[in-house]
Structure 1
Amino acid sequence: MQINKKMYTTLMITILTLSMTFAILPGTVFGAVTIGAVAPSDTGAPGTTVTITGTTTTVGGEVVLYWDQIHAWDGTSGELGRVYATGTAYTIVVTIPEAKVGVHYLTVDDLSSDEAPATATYTITSGIAIDPAVGLPGDAIEVTGTGFNSSKTISMEYWNGTAWLALTTAPIAPQTSPLGSFTCTFTIPATLANADPNVRATDSTANTASAELVVGPYIVVTPIKGLAASTLQVTGRGFTANMLVDLRWLIGTTYVTVVNDSPIDATGTFTVTFSVPLLPDATAPGTDYTIRAIDNAASPIAADATFTLIQNAAITVTPGAGKVGSAVTVAGTWFTANKLLTITFDDTDVAAVVTGSDGSFTTSFNVPAAASIGAHTITATDAKGVTASKAYTVIILSLSLQTRATEYAQGDVLSVSGSANEGLSYSINWNIKDPNGVLLASGVIAPGDWQMITAASYVLSYPTHTAQLPADATVGTWNFTATNAGTTALISTNLFTVSVPATLDSVMDGIDEVKDQLDDMTDMISDIDGNVVTIKGDVTSVKNLVSALDISVLSADIDSIKVAVADLEAVVTAVAGDVATVQTTLGTLEGTITSIDGNTATIETAVGTLQADITDVKGNVDNMPAWIAVVLALVAAVAAIFAVITIRQKIAG
């Protein structure tokens, strides 16, 4: 059949489209399961920590690592560990199990896929460990061997400086287990020479391993690593009997004596306790120092040992609080170098990582789904038992967003305030609408707009989000709304009012009302006793009027208003002693006369200093009834008290 060019092009586009569609379907195979690397090597003795990395078939698939056979661990073979892939990449950290010498198999299976598992080989080699690694002739030494052939006889030998000689062991002919391991002891021969190696083990199929045993005077430092100012114990053997020994600490290129003339017993043994001297801070994974013991014999015997200065292991947890499922990053320092380290959330293992050459690490995990609300403990523990912990709080998200105030005037600038008990990973949309539902302003609060105060306290940076009300903004009730930018779910909403700003005229009108109320109070006098006047009723109405005054327009000009008092058309209408009653264009005031110059008096009042004409009262200043002066003084005092309180409140607010 002939296919024209147009049909061919259409067919190719269809094929490409289908290919792309299948490529993005969930669960689609991206490639076979692989084992990319086994580090640090694919050869080693049992007990070695290795990291296996590779790729999976399924994004986020669960990956299981098996040793030799695919089944649950049974003590000799089976599952070694499992993780979930990140994307299609995985990393598994495991310890090589006890096994006999030879080739074994590491198998990785993606449980979410039907693809075939991936397999790599790991070659077990023989090895021995000697405990203790130092001694004197006649001392008992224990040897542990791994990675030999199964069920074979072991022969032990030592080096005398010229040849390998047989060692007498207990048991006499050690036998390896089915997994190629054995344990035996021997006594250090007097002819064993110092060399590396000088002890070896060989099975009946010629698999061999060796180690070094140091023979001769020695010292043991306990512990072998520690903190500044910590207590050390040094035990020495093989020194000159009944002599004295000094302990010296090598700092830089100079030995500093830390213990002087400590006695050695009749067997050439001593034990000394002292504190680590003042030293510079250690450098991770630790700073090594040489400790030397030297006796005072004619031919001094000396021995060295190493002490490693370290710092306390510590971890940081970021963030320190979060919801179930939240990501947590744990970083640590001063752990044992190159060791497998486990992270636990309370008693649940949540992550594993191998420390670096300096004992540091960084890893992450998600808060377990079963975690309860409240306090928990995150702990990091390495293979040597070094551990550090940090508190973590599981929380329920508490998020609040609103306008900073609930009352504004036309022309004001309003701002958005917010608080949360954890950092947010999503954006928030906000908008402001007038009483008619018309949008005035909107914005987006990004995750980076939140400022962390504590691990469980975040606030919206001020003034990150603001809006200017128009000078002619609609008076009435406005609406603020905040929603999740991704889901559009409502987060919060609040109402606020917009009003016409106060003016000087409105303030003066309010003052007139107060004056009228005070004038009415003269009809409420029920008794006068000397300088005491009794007023029937209360001053609630006056207080309410004063409290209602909006004098915010005056807050910036109080000083100029006080100065302007001197310009009032003031006339003294009465004088009693040094108290004058003054009539002004704003009403009646009362104050104290401080000086008189001709027909002009200078008077201090509650609102400022003014000068008044006293012509009308100069000749009969004593004719005013005393009770009227008392009443006026009382009224002025009440007005002054309320006015001062209100002015302070208005200015402060």
Structure 2
Amino acid sequence: MDDVPTDEIGNLTATFNVPEVSVATDYIVRAVDAEGNEREFSPFAVTEKPTITLSANIGFVGDTIIVTGLHFSANAKCTIWFGTINITSFTTGSDGSFSKSFKVPDVPVGKYKVKAEDEYGKSATADFTVKEFFIEIRPRGHSPYYRGETISFYINSSVPLSITISINDTDGYPFWKDVSWLTIPWNGYYGVRYWDQYEGVMSAYEGLWYIPHDAPLGTWTWVAVVTYGSTTKKFSGTFEVADVPYTTIITKLDELGVSLSEVNATLSGLITDVEGNLKAYIDTSLGPIIASLDEINAKLVSIENGVAEISTAVGDIKVSLDALDLSAINAKLESIEDGIATVSTSIGTVQTTLDDINAKVVSIDGNVATVKTDVGTVKTSVDEVKDLLEGVPPAISGVTTAVWIAVILSLVAAIAAIAAVVVVQRKIAG
């Protein structure tokens, strides 16, 4: 050690660093002056240097960190600091050790010193880095998704997470949920197999979810529940499910050199979508196709016996007027001439008999009859619909049907009046 001067009466105060010597051993400290006078002090015990270790050296605000300390003063008051923040105080064990936990305080992202110091000045430090917490969850790919396609989720996170995802259809009913999501490793990705809610089996696709051909169209919702340590966060969003555009299918088939007939395309029916548009439902060996009537060149061919026949590029179909959404094809009864009705629609105009469209005369005003049919109502001359007037004789010697009707109604009224007089007379006579 360096020389230390004494005061006028021979006293001294000295500070020294403990040299690198064996620990758990007592040493004698001696002071010797220039004249050879020697003084021994009490035995000096050399112990291990205090140390602390952290359960994690990188984390996020709110994370729980465990501090383990060794070789501090026994049964001493000890304080833990996070940077300049006093985190907690406690008493060390009889052997100078301790294990305490704390939550990372709300501090900016960066590097910090965690320090433990006891009441006798023994201390130790460890480094800790506060990271920014981020997570991104969203369906991968495009929106809308088409029936028959697969969907997967993109998940990017700064930490390993436990995630569960549920999906509800347009009516809010659970359509799919996962059975067991794996924890995503740091800077890694896992493909996760999905549970098919309808089929009741694990999906054959790993990391992909199959949208059935009969999936409801419209806006679907998804909810992801993320758990990290004791923290739980919820994320949600939507995606659209739509029919595969007919033109997309045709283009793809053309690229493959395959015709509709080769995939057994059959027009099986007409449906009205949520926007009120009439669509063709086409069955194929690859699954159903939904197409607009324009896309398949639909034409109204005829209306007979209450049934409309429609020709298309993928075949003909017959649909009863009751089942056909006439408003979706803008059906309108244009006119009636010589007992023949002209009906216009957005897919063509046809002529048909009055019986074929269930025509009925609902009123007559002079020589004008109001006729109601399955495809609309129109006013026309009584002469044009005289076949609908059952029990009314045809015009004779220039007298029109309207005149006959007026005559008959007058006779009915006269008979009723006579009957009323007879009843009154009988009551008076009685």
**What TM-score does the superposition give when structure 1 sets the normalisation length?**
0.26
